[in-house]
A and B are shown apart, each in its own frame.
Chain A
């Protein structure tokens, strides 16, 4: 089951904040966030493991609510370089599906000057 991302698209001015959400109907072991620019490979942003932890990476941080099976990506004081499509990939623990990431449909983020 593919995780559901919201919103589908967001337009910001430089310096504004954004939140991208990722929800799954299945129990999660991990959530992986990537950013992909047009015509390029997805670039790893961060991984969150089961345990409700929050991670930060300069002005980009994320949380993982294991009970709600949701993760959110927080982008603060956005820069032009943040533009791209953001994907969450969810991982399940154990069995033959271990290591498989199931990606959401993506959120298109556009930052204008």
Chain B
């Protein structure tokens, strides 16, 4: 059974650019949540996808968007990058919404 994987591990972008981050959920898990973790802070909920539909969203602007595919893998897209978007982006999968979430290793994004 494979765990949650994310790609890429690191990314450097400039302000105004767009970025796509990818996540493969743990085998058998149909729910994926995305979090942003700034340095020295706890993870902040961006949104959750369940069976390809958005199932809850945190306080993030619309330039943060996502997708979930039929195989339950997921993408996080961020448009018009800002300096404050620099953070560790974590995805977590769970068997069903509300249950234990297992985190991937994260993608560290630096916006210059």
The answer to whether A44 touches B42, judged by C-beta atoms less than 8 angstroms apart, is no
The answer to whether B31 touches A99, judged by C-beta atoms less than 8 angstroms apart, is yes
The answer to whether A105 touches B56, judged by C-beta atoms less than 8 angstroms apart, is no
The CA of A103 and the CA of B45, in the complex, are separated in Å by 9
Residue in B44, B55, B98, B103 with the greatest tally of chain A CB atoms within 10 Å = B98
The answer to whether B98 touches A99, judged by C-beta atoms less than 8 angstroms apart, is yes
Closest to B55 in A: A99
The CA of A67 and the CA of B90, in the complex, are separated in Å by 32
Q: Mark B81-108, 1 if CB is under 8 A from A, else 0.
A: 0000000001000100111111111100
Q: A40-B105, A41-B105, A42-B90 are in contact. Are A100 and B45 (CB under 8 A)?
A: yes
The answer to whether A99 touches B33, judged by C-beta atoms less than 8 angstroms apart, is yes
Residues of B in contact with A, size category: 20 to 34
The answer to whether B43 touches A42, judged by C-beta atoms less than 8 angstroms apart, is yes
A47 within 8 A of B: yes
B41 within 8 A of A: yes
Q: Which of A10-18, A57-65, A72-80, A90-98 contacts B (4 or more CB under 8 A)?
A: A90-98
Task: Kindly provide the distance from the CB of B78 to the nearest chain A CB, expressed in whole angstroms.
Answer: 19
The answer to whether B42 touches A41, judged by C-beta atoms less than 8 angstroms apart, is no
The answer to whether A102 touches B45, judged by C-beta atoms less than 8 angstroms apart, is yes
The answer to whether B48 touches A99, judged by C-beta atoms less than 8 angstroms apart, is yes
The answer to whether A87 touches B106, judged by C-beta atoms less than 8 angstroms apart, is no
Q: A87-B42, A106-B41, A106-B42 are in contact. Are A99 and B50 (CB under 8 A)?
A: yes
The answer to whether B41 touches A44, judged by C-beta atoms less than 8 angstroms apart, is no
Q: Which chain B positions have C-beta within 8 A of A41? A: 4, 90, 103-106
The CA of A104 and the CA of B44, in the complex, are separated in Å by 9
